[in-house]
């Protein structure tokens, strides 16, 4: 895949709130993440609670979660599926990991109150209730879920040409994004979700780089279409 895609398309956007990512790893090795500090077990993973400022690539306090993502059994067990989905659909494996961490905390059987299913929290579709129920069961299978999610995300990135807007459409729906001119909708929940995923995605990319990056350098006008993945 074209590495220029992930950097050129990861454009900056005016977020309404300076979101943070809080988390902890419990005694069973399960990572718990939240945009707020739920209780004293949660520590700041990404963002800056003191000043509200965000420095791209800054990962103070992220070491525990990033290490967990590298070595946790439930994450390692998905590596082959993630690599296959990444190669098939041209979506960075680090982006898939970031979305899964924020969406479901790597719990394959997670089901949201709205009915979103599995690792990437996908809404089952079907022409009948029975068809939707059948798809919901299939989405509990990590392979089907990750392949479906990677395919959906790839289509969104090609449609909108920007990762941030694609993630907004993932969270709020394509209709909502189109209603706001095909850009980032002014919805605090959606903006916070996008912010969290991109924060973790960039931290994962930085962690992967041999010497560590100090900043995210953009190339070309922000309005230009992103390169097409190979």
Residue 230 lies in a domain: no
d(CA 59, CA 7): 18
Q: Which of 4, 15, 67, 52 is nearest to 188 (CA)?
A: 15
Residue 37 lies in a domain: yes
Containing structural domain, residue 92: 3-208
Residue 25 lies in a domain: yes
Question: Residue 38 is part of a domain; what is its CATH number?
Answer: 1.10.530.10
Taking only the tens of pLDDT, the chain with its 230 residues reads 333 333 333 433 333 334 566 666 666 655 666 767 777 777 666 554 433 333 333 333 455 677 778 778 888 999 999 999 999 999 999 999 999 988 988 999 999 888 999 999 999 998 999 999 999 999 999 999 999 999 999 999 999 988 999 999 999 999 999 999 999 999 988 888 888 888 888 888 877 765 444 444 433 333 333 333 34
Residue 215 lies in a domain: no
Task: Choose, from 20, 53, 94, 103, the residue flagged as catalytic.
Answer: 103
Residue 58 lies in a domain: yes
Proportion of the chain in helix, strand, coil states, percent, rounded to 5? 45, 5, 45
**How many structural domains compose the chain?**
1
Residue 64 lies in a domain: yes
pTM (predicted TM-score): 0.70
User: Does 53 participate in catalysis according to the annotation?
Assistant: no
Q: Which of 24, 22, 42 is nearest to 34 (CA)?
A: 22
CB contact at 8 A, 61 and 44: yes
CB contact at 8 A, 90 and 1: yes
Angle (CA) 96-98-100 rounded to 5° is 70
Residue 227 lies in a domain: no
């Amino acid at each position: 895949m074209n590495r220029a895609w992930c950097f050129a398309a990861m454009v900056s956007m005016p977020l309404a709130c300076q979101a943070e990512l809080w988390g902890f790893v419990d005694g069973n090795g399960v990572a718990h993440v939240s945009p707020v500090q739920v209780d004293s077990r949660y520590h700041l993973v990404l963002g800056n609670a003191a000043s509200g400022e965000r420095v791209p690539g800054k990962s103070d306090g992220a070491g525990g979660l990033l290490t967990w993502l590298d070595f946790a059994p439930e994450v390692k067990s998905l590596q082959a599926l993630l690599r296959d989905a990444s190669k098939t659909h041209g979506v960075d494996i680090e982006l898939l990991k970031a979305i899964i961490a924020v969406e479901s905390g790597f719990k394959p059987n997670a089901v949201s109150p709205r009915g979103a299913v599995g690792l990437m929290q996908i809404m089952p579709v079907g022409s009948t209730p029975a068809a939707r129920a059948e798809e919901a069961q299939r989405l509990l299978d990590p392979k089907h879920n990750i392949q479906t999610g990677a395919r959906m995300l790839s289509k969104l990135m090609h449609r909108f040409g920007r990762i941030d807007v694609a993630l907004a459409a993932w969270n709020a729906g394509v209709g909502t994004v189109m209603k706001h001119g095909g850009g980032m909708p002014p919805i605090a929940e959606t903006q916070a979700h996008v912010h969290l995923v991109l924060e973790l995605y960039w931290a994962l990319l930085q962690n992967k780089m041999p010497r560590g990056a100090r900043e995210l350098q953009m190339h070309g006008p922000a309005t230009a279409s992103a390169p097409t993945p190979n």
